[in-house]
Amino acid sequence: MNKAVYWFTQDLRLSDNKLLNALLGSSKHMAFVYVIDPTWFEPRNYQHKSIGLQRWLFLCQSLRDLNQQLINKGHHLWLLEGDPSEQIQNVIQRNNIDCLGVANQVGWYEQQAVRKIRHGCPSLDVQSQWHTTLFNEDSMMDDMPMSSFSRFRQYVEKHDIPVVETIKCGPISWPAIITDSLVDQIPLNFEQRLNQYTQRFKFNNNKEVQANTFFGGEHNAIRHLHDYFSTDAAMRYKQTRNALDGWASSTKLSPYLALGNLCPRKIWQYLKRYEAQNGKNESTYWIGFELLWREYFQWLLLQKSRQFFMFQGHANEKPLTSYYSERFTKWCQGSTPYPLVNACMRQLNATGYISNRGRQIVASCLVNELSVDWRFGAAYFQQQLIDYDVASNWGNWQYIAGVGVDPRGGRHFNLNTQTQMYDPNGDFVKKWGGQNTVPIDSVDAADWPIL
């Protein structure tokens, strides 16, 4: 192959990237690109942006890490800006590129973009592989039961579906850099381009944002993975995973998985090695169990496509919820009548992260106590979460709203019981100022018409 371009998407790493390795070995010249889509920063998704400041900062860290690694190899990362399929087609046509490498992705828009490129550049050799999942598409045979997570997990365990092995290292010599200017004009350098978007957030006056708890990039991801499995935290995971706070209570691997700083196969490998060295128990099993939840949602989204985002989802009837602007705004701000919900939402707004239990509690509250359409909650999470993942986020929201594939039809968490179980002394509520409650609606009985 003469000239190849590798398009990084949700696989921001150099290791455990079979496709990248193959292209590095077979191409004479190569370039590496990432596309920033300016529409991410516009409130187009149920009034919210597709990316908030916390995830943007994490993404910038990941891109810097990747760029530095490429610089060390005599290359660099081109940051393109605009509609992804148009940008990539422009690069392909302008530079006579023969081959494009891009990871297979489960998101509908992402698949559309690749389809458009194939259509617009018919002679281009587009190569793709699965490297953001545990399994290969071949293992996801037609008879894989997808109607519930339990059936999926049981099938995987019974048939011993193999997790794809990680790859050891890349080629020793790298192809030459494509020296021409890849695009017509690149007036801004790498840092300037990232900073111009960071500035937009600052101008939006996001005062509550705290310094990042997570630091993005492949190096930080591998360090964190190593640190986590160097302690005995994994041995207690099942007992601690539902805690509302605490760094070691769960693995905190999700942000790295979401941007592909880490491959799930590498986590699986660390988990198995840890079990071999320290012994298996219910907790170590449960980490694998949760990774299977992630895996399940990835393949489910691929199967269900746009149905994954629809109000009714897979249910027989539409939910009895609607859009109440005031309630939704209060929920987003953490100013509801429910201290525990307020604390979780304030934690989310300040850090970009809340525990799985916290997510379940606030999602259930939005749908069941506030009767708001679940899609607004999912879109708000998409903006705020540092670990936003299209399949895990929309899949979990559907599940809680009772329009997913859950055979039990939705989840309603009793807020008093949850408070007694997970914050009996009120420490978590106090820490995040959740006790400042506000009535659900500003309209009081006096405003109702006399019939």
Q: Which is nearer to ligand FAD, 78 or 374 (CB)?
A: 374
Q: What is the DSSP letter of 83?
A: -
Member of 6, 201, 381, 432 binding ligand FAD (CB under 6 A)? 381
User: Contact between 36 and ligand FAD (CB under 6 A)?
Assistant: no
Among 304, 346, 359, 375, binds ligand FAD (CB under 6 A): 359
Distance CA 135, CA 133 (A): 6
Which span (100-108, 172-180, 291-299, 320-328) binds ligand FAD, by CB under 6 A?
Answer: 291-299
HSE-CB at 147 with a 13 A cutoff on CA atoms is: 4
Using CB under 6 A, which of 59, 385, 386, 405 touches ligand FAD? 385
Among residues 50, 393, 398, 418, the one that binds ligand FAD under rule CB under 6 A: 393
Residue 241 as a binder of ligand FAD (CB under 6 A): the answer is: yes
Half-sphere exposure in the Cβ direction for 105 (13 Å, CA): 22
Q: Among residues 69, 220, 250, 349, which is the contact residue for ligand FAD, using CB under 6 A?
A: 250
What is the smallest separation between the CB atom of 174 and ligand FAD, expressed in angstroms? 31
Element (H, E) at 153: helix 149-158
Q: Considering only CA atoms, which of 360, 337, 333, 338 is closest in space to residue 348?
A: 333
Is 271 one of the binding residues for ligand FAD (CB under 6 A)? no
Binding-site member from 214, 397, 413, 432 for ligand FAD (CB under 6 A): 397
Q: Report if residue 396 touches ligand FAD, rule: CB under 6 A.
A: yes
Is the Cβ of residue 241 or residue 431 nearer to ligand FAD in the bound state? 241
Dihedral (CA of 407, 412, 413, 417) sign: negative
- Cβ closest to ligand FAD, residue 27 vs residue 364: 364
| Cβ-based neighbour number of residue 88 at 10 Å | 27
CB 403 → ligand FAD: shortest distance, Å? 13
| 380 forms part of the interface with ligand FAD (CB under 6 A) | no
Q: Does the protein bind ligand FAD through residue 98 (CB under 6 A)? A: no
Task: Pick out residues in 329-358 that bind ligand FAD (CB under 6 A).
Answer: 355-356
Q: At how many degrees (to 10) do helices 390-401 and 374-384 cross?
A: 150
Give 200 or 236: the residue with its C-beta nearer to ligand FAD.
236
Nearer Cβ to ligand FAD, position 384 or 419? 384
Alpha-carbon distances of 291 from 4, 39, 187, 247, rounded to whole Å: 33, 31, 42, 18
Q: How far apart are CA 261 and CA 256, in angstroms?
A: 5
Residue type, 110: E
Does 291 participate in binding ligand FAD (rule CB under 6 A)?
A: yes
Q: Please name the residues in contact with 2: beta carbons below 8 A apart, sequence gap of 6 or more.
A: 27, 28, 29, 98
Binding to ligand FAD by residue 274, rule CB under 6 A? Answer: no
Per CB under 6 A, the list member of 194, 363, 366, 372 interacting with ligand FAD is 363
Residues 6+ apart with CB under 8 A from 263: 11, 13, 15, 16, 17, 131, 132, 166
Number of H-type helices and E-type strands within the chain = 18, 6
301 belongs to the binding site for ligand FAD (CB under 6 A):
no
* Cβ(126)–Cβ(98) below 8 Å: no
Closest approach of ligand FAD to the CB of residue 296, in Å: 8
Q: Is 258 in the site for ligand FAD (CB under 6 A)?
A: yes
Assess 75 for contact with ligand FAD (CB under 6 A): no
Contact residue for ligand FAD among 40, 293, 309, 422 (CB under 6 A): 293
Burial 40-56 (b: 16+ CB within 10 A, else e): bbeeebbebbbbbbbbb
**SS3 at position 223:** helix
Please give the single-letter amino acid code of residue 260.
Answer: G
| Partners of 3 in the β-ladder | 29
Q: Under DSSP, is residue 347 helix (H, G, I), strand (E, B) or coil? A: helix
- Which one of residues 9, 67, 392, 418 is an interface residue with ligand FAD (CB under 6 A)? 392
CB of 396 to ligand FAD, least distance (A): 3
For residues 84, 383, 317 and 298, what is the CA-based torsion angle, rounded to 10 degrees?
Answer: 60
Interface residues with ligand FAD (CB under 6 A) are 241, 250-254, 257-258, 287, 290-291, 293-294, 297, 355-356, 359-360, 363, 381, 385, 387-389, 392-393, 396-397, 400
